[in-house]
């Protein structure tokens, strides 16, 4: 027996319109709520599992959802409620708001749900972006939102980015001043003084062999020698202070880099100009596309996971050491005849082989000893490692984002 009639879902109360967008609390990572989702009777059970979630996701493809999860009761029956997962960055927030505006324009948004006084028609789905009142509500919806997300405002995200940007700018100014001071105290000046001291000591030994009439000259030379000893000691002290400041500044700069990478990881994606690239990760979507003529999507997903483990395995080392163009240095190059890579090329083709080799080279460059992936600030537009200026520029562009009602 099949039926598309949805049960009466739990009541969720809408907030008033016209709230301050900067202070409005969203569920983060961004999520959407769907109510009155149709169900079907299959073998005595109301089906609302992965199959129905997949159908809903296809219907919402224009909003780029990561996943649609139907909620079931304690008996596994579908409740007519589903949660849409959009992701964490600003681009995903834009898609989530488009999703909300789509339902609102048809009178099937949160206000429409609160306004209806009769049981909605089967298939008449209502949807909106999850906010603080949804997160706090009792029932399955609130329980899911609280266990999978928190509350954040746009103002909080902007404030965090502005704070990191100010700290980075301060560190850059400090670093520039230290560089100027170091240039003024060049090691060459110390070397010149040491050479003069050596010459004076030589002259002093010659003078000691002469008669007492040279005593005055010897005293003058001793005085000059002492002055130069004092000067070189002072310069070495200054140089030590500058080196210590430089090391501290570098530590602070590295810490700021890490915070910048972590912060941008929350607000960027592979479609933004600047994002985070995990060096050593295998792109599962590209791998599946490379293998689509060789095997099913599920088989390709499983094989991709196995190769991710191989890439991070420190016991597997498909490289050899060779001289680096006669410069007395050495470098690692990939073994073209490696047995595992050869079987991969034969089974899945050149494209899948190239993806694995690229991930191997990345992890060997950025973390050859640990063989774990490393997050790197990446300029997606120019396909290169991003500079600090790239990161700050991107933050400046994003700080002005406002929600459109």
pLDDT one-digit tens code per residue, 246-283: 787 777 777 777 777 776 666 666 667 788 888 888 88
> DSSP string covering 258-327, please?
HHHHHHHHHH--TTSSEEEEEET---HHHHHHHHTTTS-HHHHHHHHHHHHHHHT-TT---EEEEE-TTS
Mean pLDDT rounded to a whole number for the chain: 80
For 271, the token pair is 């479609």
- State the pLDDT at residue 149: 93
* Among the ranges given (249-258, 298-307, 363-372), the one the predictor scored with the smallest mean pLDDT: 249-258
Phi, psi of 331 (to 5 degrees): -145, 160
Average pLDDT, stretch 273-297? Answer: 86
- pLDDT of 214 > 60? The answer is yes
pLDDT band at 188 (very low <50, low <70, confident <90, very high): low
What pLDDT is recorded for position 165? 75
Does residue 9 surpass a pLDDT of 70? no
Residue with the larger pLDDT of the pair 212 and 165: 165
> Which long-range contacts does 238-241 make (Cβ < 8 Å, 24+ apart)?
238/185, 239/185, 239/187, 239/190
| Number of alpha carbons in the 13 Å side-chain half-sphere of residue 360 | 23
Asked whether residue 155 carries a pLDDT value surpassing 80, the answer given is yes
Q: What is the pTM of this model?
A: 0.43
The whole-number pLDDT of residue 4 equals 44
Residue with the larger pLDDT of the pair 400 and 317? 317
Q: pLDDT for 226-252, tens place per residue?
A: 888 888 888 888 888 888 877 877 777
- Of the listed ranges 70-84, 104-118, 138-152, 196-210, the least confidently predicted one is 196-210
Q: Which residue has the tokens 């089974």?
A: 347
Q: Residue 5: is its pLDDT beyond 50?
A: no
What confidence category does residue 25 fall into, taking pLDDT thresholds of 50, 70 and 90?
very high
What per-residue confidence (pLDDT) applies to 6?
Answer: 44
Other beta carbons within 10 angstroms of residue 201's beta carbon come to 11
Looking at residue 239, its pLDDT comes to 82
Give the Å distances, CA to CA, from 140 to 190, 201, 300: 74, 89, 35
Task: Classify residue 327 as exposed, middle or buried by CB count within 10 Å of its CB (0-12, 13-18, 19+).
Answer: exposed
pLDDT in tens, 33-58: 999 988 765 444 455 444 467 788 88
d(CA 288, CA 278): 18
Residue 87: pLDDT over 60: yes
124 or 131: which carries more pLDDT confidence? 131
Residue 334 — very low, low, confident or very high, per pLDDT cuts 50/70/90?
A: confident
Question: How many whole angstroms separate alpha carbon 114 and alpha carbon 3?
Answer: 25
Q: Is the pLDDT of residue 186 over 80?
A: no
User: Regarding predicted confidence, which is higher, 22 or 79?
Assistant: 79
Place of tokens 């295998």: 282
What six digits make up the tokens of 114? Answer: 């609160």
Question: How confident is the model at residue 16, as a pLDDT?
Answer: 41
Model pLDDT, residue 75: 80
Largest alpha-carbon pair distance within the chain? 126
């Amino acid at each position: 027996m099949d039926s598309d009639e949805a049960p009466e879902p739990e009541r969720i109360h809408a907030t008033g319109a016209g709230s301050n967008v900067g202070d409005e609390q969203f569920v983060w990572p961004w999520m959407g709520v769907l109510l009155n989702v149709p169900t079907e009777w299959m073998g005595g059970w109301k089906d609302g599992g992965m199959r129905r979630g997949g159908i809903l996701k296809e219907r919402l493809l224009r909003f780029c959802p990561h996943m649609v999860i139907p909620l079931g009761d304690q008996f596994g029956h579908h409740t007519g409620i589903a949660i849409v997962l959009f992701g964490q960055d600003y681009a995903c927030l834009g898609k989530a708001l488009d999703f909300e505006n789509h339902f609102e324009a048809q009178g099937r948004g949160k206000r429409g749900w609160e306004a209806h006084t009769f049981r909605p028609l089967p298939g008449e789905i209502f949807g909106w972006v999850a906010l603080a009142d949804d997160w706090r509500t009792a029932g399955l919806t609130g329980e899911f939102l609280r266990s999978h997300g928190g509350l954040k405002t746009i103002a909080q995200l902007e404030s965090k980015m502005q704070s990191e940007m100010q700290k980075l700018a301060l560190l850059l100014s400090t670093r520039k001043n230290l560089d100027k001071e170091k240039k003024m105290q060049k090691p060459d000046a110390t070397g010149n003084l040491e050479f003069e001291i050596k010459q004076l000591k030589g002259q002093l030994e010659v003078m000691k062999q002469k008669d007492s009439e040279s005593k005055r000259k010897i005293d003058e030379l001793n005085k000059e020698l002492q002055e130069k000893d004092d000067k070189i000691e002072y310069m070495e002290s200054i140089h030590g202070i500058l080196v210590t400041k430089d090391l501290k500044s570098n530590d602070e700069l590295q810490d700021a880099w890490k915070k910048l990478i972590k912060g941008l990881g929350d607000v960027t994606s592979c479609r933004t100009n600047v994002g985070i690239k995990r060096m050593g990760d295998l792109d599962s979507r590209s791998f599946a596309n490379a293998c689509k003529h060789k095997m099913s999507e599920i088989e390709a997903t499983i094989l991709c996971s196995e190769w991710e483990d191989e890439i991070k395995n420190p016991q597997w080392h498909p490289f050899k050491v060779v001289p680096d163009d006669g410069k007395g240095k050495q470098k690692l190059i990939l073994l073209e005849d490696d047995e595992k890579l050869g079987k991969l090329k034969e089974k899945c083709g050149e494209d899948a082989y190239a993806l694995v080799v690229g991930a191997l080279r990345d992890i060997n460059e950025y973390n050859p000893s640990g063989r774990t992936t490393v997050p790197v600030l990446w300029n997606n537009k120019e396909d290169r490692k991003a500079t600090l200026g790239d990161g700050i520029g991107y933050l400046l562009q994003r700080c002005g984002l406002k929600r459109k009602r």
